[in-house]
């Protein structure tokens, strides 16, 4: 599945790190480090089209106009709690980005997203938003997060995950066809408990060592 609005980052370094993360024997320490490294590589792709402007700088030899990005215009929005893993990696390459948080938990019976926290920077209407969450599974949290963010009228919204499945892509694209999805892989399927197969298990538990 590769629609124009789904970007599978099929780079050897990304795929290698993802394979190591899938292995159930990976320790919390290495899982977290790999997620961090992988996220910096994904940030490279996700920021490929961010606007640039010229500033005047002085090299040791002369004055020139040089191109820079306006990192402050970017907002990384982390879906709690597992989004924090990707957020850290993204911030290591775009340290000036602003950060928002959305707290959503998945009701285990309905699998629907319930919001418990929402904190964004001011003036969202002239910012480019990158929503991060490692697993795009049912799509319920992603859809709810994007819906809330659209109320603030940002200039653009992208969604970044580590892994997804056809069901997750279809759900998010069905609800928000204007939001491009960046992922390292689209796995086979979603099971009846809302887990991605073959997947990597519960991303939050693996990042934080809570299981």
Task: Answer yes or no whether residue 196 interacts with ligand URA by CB under 6 A.
Answer: yes
- Interface with ligand URA, residue 152, by CB under 6 A: no
Is 178 assigned a catalytic role? Answer: no
Q: Give how far Cα 39 sits from Cα of 1, 88, 177, Å.
A: 22, 8, 23
User: Which of the following is catalytic: 22, 33, 106, 148?
Assistant: 106
Q: Looking at beta carbons only, is 100 or 204 nearer to ligand URA?
A: 204
Stretch that binds ligand URA, among 26-34, 52-60, 120-128, 190-198 (CB under 6 A): 190-198
Question: Considering the rule CB under 6 A, would residue 195 count as an interface residue with ligand URA?
Answer: yes
Residue 137 in contact with ligand URA, rule: CB under 6 A: yes
Q: Which is nearer to ligand URA, 14 or 135 (CB)?
A: 135
Q: Is 106 a catalytic residue?
A: yes
Among residues 169 and 196, whose Cβ is nearest to ligand URA? 196
Min separation Cβ 141 and ligand URA, Å? 9
Q: Is 32 a catalytic residue?
A: no
Nearer Cβ to ligand URA (90/190): 190
Residues marked active site are found at 106, 110, 202, 205
Binding footprint of ligand URA on the chain (CB under 6 A): 135, 137, 194-196, 199, 202-204
């Amino acid at each position: 599945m590769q629609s124009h609005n789904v970007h599978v980052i099929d780079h050897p370094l990304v795929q290698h790190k993802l394979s190591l993360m899938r292995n159930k024997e990976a320790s919390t320490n290495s899982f977290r480090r790999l997620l961090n490294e992988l996220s910096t590589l994904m940030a490279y792709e996700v920021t490929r089209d961010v606007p640039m402007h010229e500033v005047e700088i002085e090299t040791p030899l002369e004055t020139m106009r040089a191109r820079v990005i306006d990192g402050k215009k970017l907002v990384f929005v982390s879906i709690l709690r597992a989004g924090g893993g990707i957020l850290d990696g993204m911030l290591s390459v775009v340290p000036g980005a602003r950060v928002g948080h959305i707290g959503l938990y998945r009701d285990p019976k309905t699998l629907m997203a319930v919001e418990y926290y929402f904190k964004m920077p001011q003036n969202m209407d002239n910012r480019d938003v990158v929503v991060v969450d490692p697993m795009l599974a049912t799509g319920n949290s992603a859809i709810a997060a994007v819906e809330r963010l659209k109320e603030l009228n940002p200039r653009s919204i992208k969604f970044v995950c580590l892994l997804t499945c056809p069901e997750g892509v279809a759900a998010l694209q069905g609800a928000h066809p204007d939001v491009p999805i960046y992922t390292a892989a689209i796995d086979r399927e979603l099971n009846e408990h809302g887990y991605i197969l073959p997947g990597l298990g519960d991303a939050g538990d693996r990042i934080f060592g809570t299981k």
